[in-house]
């Protein structure tokens, strides 16, 4: 059991990280635009910088790719835990995979360890694991965005709210205490990583200089 658990953890961490390291913003900007999105705007490879730099189609393609890889990492993580450690809740493997997919997206091995901020990758993982929580987070984000037009603030808010919703979700579904604690800790780690990657945005929010979507000639960090 111990060897199987170690193997499962290593394989889940590896598949999550390598999948996360496939950064669609960089791939799309290089293949379709003959450019590197990280040389523009905020320097991030996320959807918002892609949208602001190249337009709607590259931005949408980046969003779809980032969400899909987060979901894929989760499904593979669940499958590996089911196959190797069937006595454990496969959700534990899924959350572990989500963490490493987010790390891979932020620090991709294929692209010099400089990627995006992980919001949509985490979103894909949440969609695969907790569709209801995903929907609630989308609603919260849209309300915030409609009021402020600040993408980064919405990302920070939903990251902060996510662990609370996750705890409520799995408690409602009857998860036992050890699994509940593990999942909650994983959700806190995911949220903390996303918020940390927005630290420069937080500083600009404090200064009142953060970018509002639709403004011209103003750079900010993004997802």
pLDDT digits (tens, 9 = 90+) for 170-197: 999 999 999 999 999 999 999 999 999 9
Average pLDDT value for residue range 63-77: 97
Distance of CA 217 to the CA centre of its chain: 27
Q: How far apart are CA 119 and CA 208, in angstroms?
A: 22
Cβ atoms 66, 138 nearer than 8 A: no
How does 170-194 read in b/e, with b if 16+ C-beta sit within 10 Å?
A: beeeebeeeebebbbebbebbbebb
pLDDT of 16 strictly over 60: yes
Q: How far apart are the two ends of the chain, measured CA to CA in Å? A: 39
Q: What phi and psi values does residue 169 have, to the nearest 5 degrees?
A: -60, -50
Residues contacting 130, CB < 8 A, separation 6+: 165, 166, 169
The predicted pLDDT at position 58 comes to 94
In degrees and rounded to multiples of 5, residue 210 shows phi and psi of -70, 150
pLDDT category of residue 1 using cuts at 50, 70 and 90: low
Residues 142, 124, 37, 208, CA torsion sign: positive
The pTM of the full predicted model, rounded to 2 decimals, is 0.91
Reported as a single tens digit per residue, the pLDDT across 103-124 is: 999 999 999 999 999 999 999 9
Distance, in Å, from the CA atom of 105 to the CA atom of 19, rounded to the nearest integer, reads: 8
């Amino acid at each position: 059991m111990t060897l199987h658990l170690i193997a499962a953890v290593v394989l889940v961490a590896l598949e999550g990280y390598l999948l996360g390291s496939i950064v669609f913003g960089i791939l799309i900007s290089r293949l379709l635009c003959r450019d590197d999105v990280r040389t523009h705007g905020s320097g991030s490879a996320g959807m918002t910088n892609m949208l602001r730099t190249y337009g709607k189609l590259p931005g949408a393609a980046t969003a779809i790719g980032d969400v899909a890889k987060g979901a894929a990492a989760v499904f593979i993580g669940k499958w590996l835990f089911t196959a190797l450690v069937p006595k454990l809740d496969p959700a534990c493997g899924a959350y572990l995979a989500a963490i490493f997919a987010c790390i891979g997206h932020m620090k991709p091995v294929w692209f010099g360890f400089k990627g995006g901020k992980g919001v949509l990758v985490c979103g894909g993982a949440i969609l695969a694991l907790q569709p209801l929580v995903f929907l609630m987070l989308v609603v919260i984000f849209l309300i915030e965005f409609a009021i402020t037009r600040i993408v980064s603030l919405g990302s920070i808010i939903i990251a902060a709210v996510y662990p609370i919703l996750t705890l409520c979700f799995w408690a409602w579904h009857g998860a036992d205490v050890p699994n509940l604690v593990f999942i909650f800790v994983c959700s806190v780690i995911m949220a903390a990583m996303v918020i940390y990657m927005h630290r420069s945005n937080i500083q600009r929010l404090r200064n009142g200089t953060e970018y509002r979507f639709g403004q011209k000639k103003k750079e900010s960090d993004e997802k």
